[in-house]
Amino acid sequence: MKKLLIGIFAFAVFAASTWGQEAILREDHPDRYTVAKGDTLWDISRKFLQNPWMWPEIWHVNPQIDNPHLIYPGDTISLVYMDGQPRLTVQRGADSRTFKVEPGTVKLSPSVHVIPLAEAIPSIPLDAVDTFLSNSRIVSAGELEDAPYVLAGGRDRLIVGAGDFLYARGDFEQDVPVYGVYRKGDVYVDPITEEVLGVQALDIGTVRIKDIEGDIATSEVTRTTEEIRIKDRLLAHEQRPIDSSFFPSAPASTVEGLILAVEGGVSQVGKMDVVVLNRGEREGLRPGNVLAVYKKAALARDPVANEVVALPEERAGLLMVFRTFEKISFGIVLEAELPLSTKDIVRNP
């Protein structure tokens, strides 16, 4: 998955009328920028725009390039004006050139393979969210309790690692050969409505079913993040697609929610931290959606009017949603002008 080419913000993902916004150039924007190794699309768009999620509005499709939605190290991005409107164009650099590999001596229909010399840059640092893309999982209340569980380790072992085998008991699906092993983590509850939004299933490992007899399965342990224990739960691998290509954009509907938690169990949030939001697919959130973070309004005592008043909320940062579930989403903090914390407000940028 890490090797996927990451597309730049999809052209015309959202129309210029999205939430009445227009792309706003920074006063100190460069006229051109050469992409360097380690850059992300978010970093580059921030060099040109005050509202980088509106990048599609000034991106110009270059018909001379096979796929203008891929940007590579060495490419030069230039700001030009067309009919009085700012547009961004890309000129391929030496590092992103492609070369042709001619077919071998086997007689086949004529064809040519084109292989890029460099990988396209990602939208965000993928190493910061890789674990949450591949293994992290949110399940409904009771789903883990109803799932098959580890009954015993092979050869009477109490803890099991990769290369061992184990016995699990429960209702197994006959056509599912691979299961993930999970342990119950945090239970996420909406602080306003008190609705149970989901339960964090902590990834422990993966097993392959070798044999099922009655309700007991013999399984080979193929991967572990830590030792598997008795009573750990087995869930069939998710069939939902997990894509590491993100197209930063404003949400398609009005969204307002809260930061429920930050990875690691702490309350303070910083740049590139992963956070849990109390909004998900049912509220219209999609991977790539950018949300602004606001500090809750502080209270101040008015000595003249002799009353307590709420001060205006302060915009404190930006985050991008990278994985969604029905009622919960994971996001990564891209900018933090002020210290962020759990219970901070998130809404459309």
pLDDT in tens, 44-97: 888 999 888 887 777 766 665 555 557 889 989 998 888 888 888 888 876 555
Please report the pLDDT score of residue 234 as a whole number: 96
All structural domains of the chain, each given as residue ranges with its CATH number in brackets, are: 18-94 (no CATH), 132-236 (no CATH), 256-347 (2.40.10.410)
226 or 111, greater pLDDT: 226
Q: How confident is the model at residue 8 (pLDDT cuts 50, 70, 90)?
A: very low
Q: What local confidence, expressed as pLDDT, does residue 94 receive?
A: 66
Q: Mean pLDDT check: name the lowest of 70-84, 248-262, 283-297.
A: 70-84
SS3 per-residue string spanning the chain: CCCCCCCCCCCCCCCCCHHHCCCCECCCCCCEEECCCCCCHHHHHHHHECCHHHHHHCECCCCCCCCCCCCCCCCEEEEEEECCEEEEEEECCHHHCEEEECCCCCCCCCCCEEEECCCCCCCCCHHHCHHHHHCCEEECCCCCCCCCEEEEEHHHCCEECCCCEEEEECCCCCCCCEEEEEEEEEEEECCCCCCEEEEEEEEEEEEEEEEEECCEEEEEEEEECCCEECCCEEEECCCCCCCCCCCCECCCCCCEEEEEEECCCCCEECCCCEEEECCCHHHCCCCCEEEEEEECCCEEEECCCCEEEECCCEEEEEEEEEEECCCCEEEEEEEECCCEECCCEEECC
**Res. 227 pLDDT band, cuts 50 70 90:** very high
pTM for the model: 0.75
Question: What are the pLDDT digits (tens) for 134-193?
Answer: 677 899 988 999 999 999 998 878 788 888 999 999 999 888 999 999 999 999 999 999
pLDDT category at 198 given cuts 50, 70, 90 is very high
Mean pLDDT over the full length of the chain: 82
Calculate mean pLDDT across residues 260-277.
84
